[in-house]
A and B are shown apart, each in its own frame.
Chain A
Amino acid sequence: MATEKPEQFDRVDWSELSQSGRFDLSINSIGMLVATLPLALLWLYDSQFVGEREATFQAIGLSRNLDPLDYFFIFTLFLFFFYLILPLYQNPRMTRYYWKEFRRNRPAVVSLGWLGIVFVGGLLGPLVVSAPEQSILTGHQPPVFLSIDEANVATCVGDVVNGRCQGTWQHPLGTTRGGKDVFAGIVYGMTISMQIAFITTTIVAAIGITFGTVSAYAGGWIDEVMMRFVDIILSFPTFLMFLLILYIYGAGLGMFILVFSAFAWGGTARYVRSKALSVSEEEFIKATRISGASTYRVVRKHVVPNVASSIITQLTLLIPGFLLAEAQLAFLGIGDSAVPSWGQLISAGRSDLAFAPWIVLAPGIVLFLTILAFNFIGDALLDALNPEAEAENA
């Protein structure tokens, strides 16, 4: 993806840095490459030289392993940082304006805080909190400040008072039937949720934008065919497909992400196409006639920035759907029980709901809050980034 020819272009772009609303891709792309290179090398090393059962970082004594999904996740994090976060720094005026609009929506700001917690928890949590481990004897421990009838536990980690086993800080949210710490489960679930969110969104955005712009610029029957194809994708009964594919072909986290992304890009493609068409009416014609700039350049400089804010909003609202779908599928028994997602936790705790409700409640509430947060933020983004779409006009 390295662009050799526009060495001069990059320099010209640099001087336009002060223009707001534009994605200055030159330095961001450089940063992206600089960050991705070591990652790619690490992955190469991992896949070629490190044994299947060995952890990636075994050589330096850490038992931390990175699977392909983790690599991709880190890659998407880089994308997020260099193409979404960094531009915010580069355009302080625009950022300040958007933030001011966003800030008016108090629930959204709180949601941002919550998502921040989930994000940090998902990234750093596993480094700090040890993975939930099976320990049958200490199953069904209640959360701190609560208690459970002694008869329901094999051994009680805390004290037993009046025939009831008390909760302890050792397991602040209690344990599952198998003795796994619920709090740790939730933290590790944060990682899973973040992975789903980032990776699926990246794939959906990539396919959607590419499809939409190619369709728009190709025009004619190619456009027709492509849009009919999108129609079909959109008509799939998605949940049914998830069930079908995941049940029959296996349900690891990677499969989940693959299947979700395969069916979710239709709306984005349609939207990008219509935006590209309306932009190309003017810009493309001018650009080709006057400057001889390539279509690709026009797309990147004009279509993408215009479309970006709407897409960000749209994507933000897609994410809760994915998280919900994963939880639903886990609840139905489809999914990898080894994957410590919130859905799996809820599913595991269902049978013990009557006497050990925390196993279901804790991850359930966390899932609920996260879905809620994304919805609030998406709503606020809609108001902040798209004033035309706002219903309440002065």
Chain B
Amino acid sequence: MGFGKYVGARVLWAVVVSLIITTITFLLLAAAPNPAIREAATQAALQGGDPSAAVERERELRGLNQPLYVRYMDFIKSVYTLDWGWSESRSQPVTEAMLQALYYTAQYSIPWTVLTITLGPLVGVYSAANMYSWRDHVATGFAFFGYAIPNFFFGIILLLIFGVWFEVVPISYDTSAPVFSLQNVRQLILPVFVLVTGSIGATMRVSRNESAEFQNSEFMKTAKAKGVSPLRAYAYHVMRPTMVPLSTTLVGQLLALFIGSSLLVEVVFGIPGLGRLTFNALISQDTNLILGSTLVFTFIAVVGNLLEDLVFTVLDPRINYDDR
């Protein structure tokens, strides 16, 4: 099928999957006991009132006494109209809450992504060029270290050392700092550092292994016989082919890390980003917000997978998207 049709079909599938997953989330939430309601029941009991009546009242207030499918239809409709409802816990529309949180998340996730994408492959190729030498071992050592150390653990240790003992970075995040100020840089440097050390390890290893294969390839010999300098050979003849298998891993890695790492980093450093938002929503069982977040995260993940596949076919001229 044509490229356009293929992309169209995959995007459609992405939407379908996101909906399915969000539906499952919806069902999970619906089946769960709602603490606010239990709270109301307890209150009523303590005050000598009738708990079950209180429960009924609360449910009615929240629209929870309607049959499931009605609620579900409402939900689907709201997704389409991008009216994702009202966030109970934040007292603002869900979309507004998420955009606000995104603003803070972007401030650390953009530098994080840029650094990983540029440094990772470079260090990997460098390591492959000096394979098995001490340089390689040091680089690989760092990679393994960064990859293995739990981000939250690393974060709190660094915060202890640099925030409490040396006092070079603030220990809590100040949202009033302007985005492009030195103050903002100081408070973001540790979270970005922790995140980068975590993700660079994986990308570096992959690019090391993939580029090693290309370094010993026939066309590298041809390049050398043509008189190509080693630097140019690495830049053009190793990096470029390496990007093909690397791209698939890169996208996958970054996405996978995004949700887990960012939440924990936000908690440790006190950044009010998307991760924290979702977590707090969970704690207070703010259904609309949870569903909104789930939808967004899932859609990003699925689209990310799609991008991964497509990028692969674009980067390798030998592959026809038909072969996928």
Whether the pair B153, A364 counts as a contact (CB closer than 8 A) is: yes
B261 to chain A, nearest CB (A): 9
Q: Is A357 an interface residue (CB 8 A)?
A: yes
Whether the pair A372, B213 counts as a contact (CB closer than 8 A) is: no
Whether the pair A237, B131 counts as a contact (CB closer than 8 A) is: no
Whether the pair A371, B20 counts as a contact (CB closer than 8 A) is: no
| CB contact under 8 A between A235 and B302, given known A240-B293, A371-B148 | yes
B residues sitting closer than 8 Å to A (CB atoms) are 13, 17-18, 20-21, 25, 28-29, 32-33, 131, 144-145, 147-150, 152-153, 156-157, 160, 164, 205, 208-210, 212-213, 216, 259-260, 263-264, 267, 278-279, 282-283, 285, 290, 293-294, 297-298, 301-302, 305
Whether the pair B153, A245 counts as a contact (CB closer than 8 A) is: no
| CB contact under 8 A between A237 and B148, given known A353-B156, A364-B153 | no
Whether the pair B28, A244 counts as a contact (CB closer than 8 A) is: yes
Whether the pair A354, B160 counts as a contact (CB closer than 8 A) is: yes
Binds B, one of A41-49, A299-307, A326-334: A326-334
Whether the pair B264, A331 counts as a contact (CB closer than 8 A) is: yes
Tell me which residues across on chain B come within 8 A of A35, comparing CB atoms. Answer: none
B258 to chain A, nearest CB (A): 9
Question: Which of A238, A325, A372 meets B148, CB within 8 Å?
Answer: A372
Tell me which residues across on chain A come within 8 A of B263, comparing CB atoms. Answer: 239, 332
Tell me which residues across on chain B come within 8 A of A332, comparing CB atoms. Answer: 263-264, 267, 279
Whether the pair A368, B297 counts as a contact (CB closer than 8 A) is: no
B159 to chain A, nearest CB (A): 9
CA separation between A327 and B151, bound complex, in Å?
A: 11
Whether the pair B297, A240 counts as a contact (CB closer than 8 A) is: yes
Question: Which of A231, A325, A392 meets B131, CB within 8 Å?
Answer: A392
Question: Which of A107, A249, A354, A368 meets B149, CB within 8 Å?
Answer: A368
Give the contacts of A289-335 with B (CB-CB under 8 A).
320, 324-325, 327-328, 331-332
Question: Which of A232, A248, A361, A367 meets B17, CB within 8 Å?
Answer: A232
Tell me which residues across on chain A come within 8 A of B259, comparing CB atoms. Answer: 237-240
CA separation between A238 and B252, bound complex, in Å?
A: 13
CA separation between A331 and B148, bound complex, in Å?
A: 17
Q: Is A162 an interface residue (CB 8 A)?
A: no
CA separation between A164 and B205, bound complex, in Å?
A: 46
Question: Which of A235, A367, A379, A393 meets B216, CB within 8 Å?
Answer: A393
30 A-B pairs with C-beta separation under 8 A: A231-B13, A232-B21, A234-B305, A235-B17, A235-B305, A237-B259, A237-B298, A240-B259, A243-B278, A243-B279, A244-B25, A244-B28, A244-B282, A248-B28, A248-B32, A248-B33, A248-B285, A320-B148, A328-B152, A332-B264, A332-B267, A353-B156, A361-B157, A368-B149, A368-B153, A372-B145, A375-B147, A391-B210, A391-B213, A393-B216
Question: Which of B150, B212, B294 meets A240, CB within 8 Å?
Answer: B294
Q: Which residue of A lies closest to B285 (CB)?
A: A248
Question: Which of B150, B213, B290, B293 meets A368, CB within 8 Å?
Answer: B150
Whether the pair B156, A325 counts as a contact (CB closer than 8 A) is: no
CA separation between A74 and B173, bound complex, in Å?
A: 47
Q: Is A194 an interface residue (CB 8 A)?
A: no
Q: Which residue of B lies closest to A389 (CB)?
A: B209
Whether the pair A372, B32 counts as a contact (CB closer than 8 A) is: no
Whether the pair B150, A328 counts as a contact (CB closer than 8 A) is: yes
Q: Is A360 an interface residue (CB 8 A)?
A: yes
Q: Which residue of A lies closest to B260 (CB)?
A: A239
Q: Is A148 an interface residue (CB 8 A)?
A: no
Q: Which residue of A lies closest to B21 (CB)?
A: A236
Complex A-B, nearest 8 residue pairs according to Cβ-Cβ distance, in ascending order: A372-B148, A391-B209, A248-B32, A239-B260, A237-B297, A391-B212, A364-B153, A371-B148
Contacts A243-B282, A372-B149 given; 11 further ones with Cβ under 8 A? Answer: A232-B17, A235-B17, A237-B259, A240-B293, A240-B297, A244-B282, A248-B33, A248-B282, A324-B150, A371-B150, A376-B144
Q: Is A286 an interface residue (CB 8 A)?
A: no
Q: Which residue of B lies closest to A363 (CB)?
A: B153
| CB contact under 8 A between A232 and B282, given known A372-B145, A376-B144 | no
Q: Which residue of A lies closest to B262 (CB)?
A: A239
Whether the pair A360, B279 counts as a contact (CB closer than 8 A) is: no
Q: Is A103 an interface residue (CB 8 A)?
A: no
Question: Which of B147, B150, B279 meets A327, CB within 8 Å?
Answer: B150
Q: Is A346 an interface residue (CB 8 A)?
A: yes
Whether the pair A235, B152 counts as a contact (CB closer than 8 A) is: no
Tell me which residues across on chain A come within 8 A of B301, comparing CB atoms. Answer: 235, 237
CA separation between A236 and B33, bound complex, in Å?
A: 23
B182 to chain A, nearest CB (A): 26
Tell me which residues across on chain B come within 8 A of A107, comparing CB atoms. Answer: 144
Tell me which residues across on chain B come within 8 A of A245, comparing CB atoms. Answer: 28
CA separation between A375 and B201, bound complex, in Å?
A: 11
CA separation between A367 and B152, bound complex, in Å?
A: 12
Question: Which of A238, A327, A331, A364 meets B157, CB within 8 Å?
Answer: A364
CA separation between A350 and B150, bound complex, in Å?
A: 14
Tell me which residues across on chain A come within 8 A of B302, comparing CB atoms. Answer: 235
CA separation between A228 and B324, bound complex, in Å?
A: 15
A307 to chain B, nearest CB (A): 21
Which of B149, B150, B205, B210: most chain A CB closer than 10 A? B150
CA separation between A260 and B92, bound complex, in Å?
A: 33
CA separation between A247 and B153, bound complex, in Å?
A: 22
CA separation between A244 and B260, bound complex, in Å?
A: 13
CA separation between A327 and B29, bound complex, in Å?
A: 24
Tell me which residues across on chain B come within 8 A of A238, comparing CB atoms. Answer: 259
Whether the pair A236, B298 counts as a contact (CB closer than 8 A) is: yes
Question: Which of A244, A375, A392 meets B212, CB within 8 Å?
Answer: A392
| CB contact under 8 A between A375 and B144, given known A350-B156, A360-B156, A393-B213 | yes
A269 to chain B, nearest CB (A): 16
Q: Which residue of B lies closest to A357 (CB)?
A: B160
Whether the pair A325, B260 counts as a contact (CB closer than 8 A) is: yes
CA separation between A324 and B147, bound complex, in Å?
A: 11
CA separation between A83 and B138, bound complex, in Å?
A: 37
CA separation between A391 and B263, bound complex, in Å?
A: 35
Tell me which residues across on chain A come within 8 A of B290, comparing CB atoms. Answer: 244
A153 to chain B, nearest CB (A): 20
Whether the pair B32, A249 counts as a contact (CB closer than 8 A) is: yes
Whether the pair B148, A364 counts as a contact (CB closer than 8 A) is: no
Tell me which residues across on chain A come within 8 A of B305, comparing CB atoms. Answer: 234-235
